[in-house]
Amino acid sequence: MAEAQRTTRMWRNLNAKIAAIPMVLTTLVVFVGGTAWTVLYSFTDSKLLPRERWVGFDQYERLWSNSRWLTSIENLMIYGVLSLIFTIVIGFVLAVAMDQKIRFEDTFRTIMLYPFALSFIVTGLVWQWILNPEFGIQSIVRGLGWESFTFNPLDNPDLVLYGLLIAGLWQGTGFVMCLMLAGLRGIDEDIWKAARVDGIPTWKTYVLIILPMMRPVFITTLVLVAAGIIKLYDLVVAQTSGGPGTASQVPAMYVYDYMFQAQNLGQGFAASTMMLLSVLIVLIPWAYLEFGGRKHG
Amino acid sequence: MKNLKLVTALAASVALPSAGFATELEVTHWWTSGGEAAAVAELAKAFDAGGDKWVDGAIAGGGSTARPIMISRITGGDPMGATQFNHGQQALELVEAGLMLDLTDVAEAEGWKEKVFPPSLLEACTVDGRIYCAPVNIHSPEWLWLSNKAYADAGIPVPTNWNEFVASAPQLEAAGKIPLALGNQAWQSNLAFGAITVAVAGLDIWKQVNVEKNMDVAAGPEMAAVFAAVGDARKLAAKSTVQDWNQATNLVLTGEAGGQIMGDWAQGEFQVAGKVAGTDYTCLPGLGLNAYLSTGCDAFYFPKNDDPEIEAAQKRLAALLVSPEVQVAFNLKKGSLPIRGDVDLAAANDCMKKGLEVLAGGNLLPTGDMTWSPDVVKQNEDLMVEFFKSDMAPEAAHAQWVENLKSGL
């Protein structure tokens, strides 16, 4: 009896299962297979072409004593934390503002979302020009008569990260706003009515009632934004190419440079394995929260 | 079959352009600045005149951007007809993996061994006795380019060597000039370091470090002096915020900056702008201290193809690149030196003549590209760009530099 049940379950939705086979194979071979291969070869001294000469953890030791890699990690942490906080806070505030039944909401929403339609390369170049002292903000303000005004973050090692952050926020917050807005619209109107009957102020309703109810939206946003931060590459390449000096380097650039420019695959693989680890650190808790809880609940 | 191929090749070299022989060959390179593009056009013109078709595959962004693209195309099974590399170790593994066409028969037919000068250029193309690349020009990075206009504006004479240049910097700054123009890209910082090494430490020390790889010398007081000199250069370049080398050259060209340490390819920019060597700009090989030039070289490699027609066209191109006419036409435009001693460069300007003199005098050294692996070069580039853009102590940079070299032993 149980046997028969299992068989029928296996044959249920047969068409859908057959249709999924190519994707499953792609996932297994390209993603899982490629990942395993990369991790494996990070323990070799492969140069331009991969070869199986095992060197243990040598590549990792070199990686973690390299000042450029350490700078990259530090930059990523600063950029990541600030970017996470600001995109989510600004995104949420914008969404709440949109939710006040304002006029021309569609127009505003489109304007806010437009930067997201641009690639990071375009964003990076646009902001490189805006922040360039020769023809950007500095020259405009000086043109208005304030001659001593100096604003040149991209050439200052201490400020360059914030130059990147501005560009990243400009590009990303519109999208977060849309996610948040969808979450807000998903809240039952009755809850608002009940809160109003109880005489709770609007801001308190948002913070104490709506926010906790939007937990799934927040978690999804968090994961999307965090994954985007870890793979941060094209924005930096376009805007600063890692400079001045090594002040705005990020791990993905290290991986690329060492795999292809330095022709040292082993070192590049070790760095990309470390990046994979950090992605997993973000993804596993999310998967646990999203899927783990539901079984019991 | 072999004869037939030879006949085809010979016929193609003399026959009028005819559709029957026209083979398209995609050639990738990273020569995109004004002077460089003009030089490449000469190569294309000569190749097209032979009845084939040069399909230009220029990749912008310099060698460090272009090489990864080229390498992944070759290793990924989508080889181009021919590709530029700085020869030496950059393409070594590709040759060893059997991905490059063996040009030994072309080299023997054309007598490259007797004609290519200095011979080290062909040696760098040779792996296990077989020749795998066609050298096209000698480029040397150890040049200081000075703007006569900047010095005239500041009311001081143009320096004749690096020490005078450093000493004159305060006057230049007082006149509102940037003393030293330097692009922000990592390889440019490393190039400046290399040039200063040869100039300050001299050839013997350079050879002991880079050829004999003596790490005690590398850590010694002579190299410490070099790092101190690089620290001087860092102060002079503090106000230079451009990215690309030709933007930095442009600062010198317009008189906004006093000088730039850059390879002889900078000369192409001066030429395109119609400047005259000696009156508009001054060049000092070996920074005016030690007139040694390293004989780096651009060479073309020909990735293996299955199609025999393409292979024949590749060999035609290889022979063409080394031929005297093409050598003259190409190098006059590019501002670099030809790879054979038997060509007539009567049209060469002041700076090229200085280079030819150094070359004829045999004051040559191999480049870092030939003696160190790309891995070590990259680590040093990272170090130098960090050094130039931060307040890192010269001693700390020196210690790290020695570590980088050791990783390549």
Examine the domain organization and report whether B148 and B279 are in the same domain: yes
**A245 to chain B: which residues are within 8 Å by CB?**
385-390
| CB-based contacts of A157-160 (< 8 A; 24+ apart in sequence) | A157/A244, A157/A245, A157/A247, A157/B389, A157/B390, A158/A247, A160/A240, A160/A243, A160/A244, A160/A247, A160/A248
Q: What is the pLDDT of residue B357?
A: 83
Query: How, if at all, do strands B24-29 and B82-86 pair?
Result: parallel
Is residue B364 included in any domain, yes or no? no
Is residue B11 included in any domain, yes or no? yes
Examine the domain organization and report whether B241 and B388 are in the same domain: yes
Q: What is the pLDDT of residue A89?
A: 93
Q: Kindly state the average pLDDT of the residues B369-374.
A: 75
Q: Name the band, by pLDDT with cuts 50, 70 and 90, for residue B9.
A: very low
Say yes or no for a CB contact (<8 Å) between A267 and B68: no
Q: What is the pLDDT of residue B1?
A: 43
Examine the domain organization and report whether B304 and B350 are in the same domain: yes
The residue range of the domain holding B280 is 143-294+372-406
Q: What is the pLDDT of residue B340?
A: 84
Is residue B367 included in any domain, yes or no? no
B149 in contact with chain A, both atoms CB, cutoff 8 A: no
Domain boundaries defined on chain A: 1-41, 59-296
Examine the domain organization and report whether B76 and B202 are in the same domain: no
Q: What is the pLDDT of residue B145?
A: 92
Q: What is the pLDDT of residue A2?
A: 57
Examine the domain organization and report whether B165 and B287 are in the same domain: yes
Nearest Cα to Cα of residue B294 among B135, B143, B396, B126: B143
Q: What is the pLDDT of residue B391?
A: 86
Instruction: CATH number of the domain at B350, please.
Output: 3.40.190.10
Examine the domain organization and report whether B150 and B253 are in the same domain: yes
Is residue B147 included in any domain, yes or no? yes
Examine the domain organization and report whether B324 and B401 are in the same domain: no
Task: Domain count for chain B, please give it.
Answer: 2
Phi, psi of A54 (to 5 degrees): -80, 135
Q: What is the pLDDT of residue B398?
A: 94
A245 in contact with chain B, both atoms CB, cutoff 8 A: yes
Q: Which among B376, B378, B392 is the top mutation candidate for probing chain A, defined by the most A β-carbons within 10 Å of its own β-carbon? A: B378
Is residue B246 included in any domain, yes or no? yes
What's the pTM? 0.78
pLDDT top residue among B199 and A294: B199
Examine the domain organization and report whether B257 and B281 are in the same domain: yes
pLDDT exceeds 50 at position B2: no
Say yes or no for a CB contact (<8 Å) between B386 and A62: no
pLDDT top residue among A17 and B1: A17
Q: What is the pLDDT of residue B368?
A: 58
Is residue B323 included in any domain, yes or no? yes
Examine the domain organization and report whether B387 and B254 are in the same domain: yes
Q: Name the band, by pLDDT with cuts 50, 70 and 90, for residue B19.
A: very low
Is residue B254 included in any domain, yes or no? yes
Q: Name the band, by pLDDT with cuts 50, 70 and 90, for residue B12.
A: very low
Examine the domain organization and report whether B237 and B249 are in the same domain: yes
Q: What is the pLDDT of residue B14?
A: 44
**Average pLDDT of chain A, as a whole number:** 87
**B75 to chain A: which residues are within 8 Å by CB?**
49
Report how far residue A177's alpha carbon sits from residue A92's, in angstroms, rounded to the nearest whole number: 6
**A62 to chain B: which residues are within 8 Å by CB?**
407
How do residues B305-356 score in pLDDT, each as one tens digit? 888 889 999 999 999 999 888 888 888 888 788 888 777 777 777 788 888 8
Examine the domain organization and report whether B77 and B108 are in the same domain: yes
Is residue B56 included in any domain, yes or no? yes
Rg (CA), chain A: 24
Does the A59-296 domain belong in CATH 3.40.50.300? no
pLDDT exceeds 80 at position B256: yes
Examine the domain organization and report whether B62 and B82 are in the same domain: yes
For chains A and B, CB pairs below 8 A equal 70
Say yes or no for a CB contact (<8 Å) between B375 and A264: yes
B73 in contact with chain A, both atoms CB, cutoff 8 A: no
Report the residue of chain A nearest B387, measured CA to CA.
A245
pLDDT exceeds 50 at position B17: no
Q: Kindly state the average pLDDT of the residues A246-256.
A: 90
> How far does the CA of residue B361 sit from the closest CA of chain A (Å)?
34
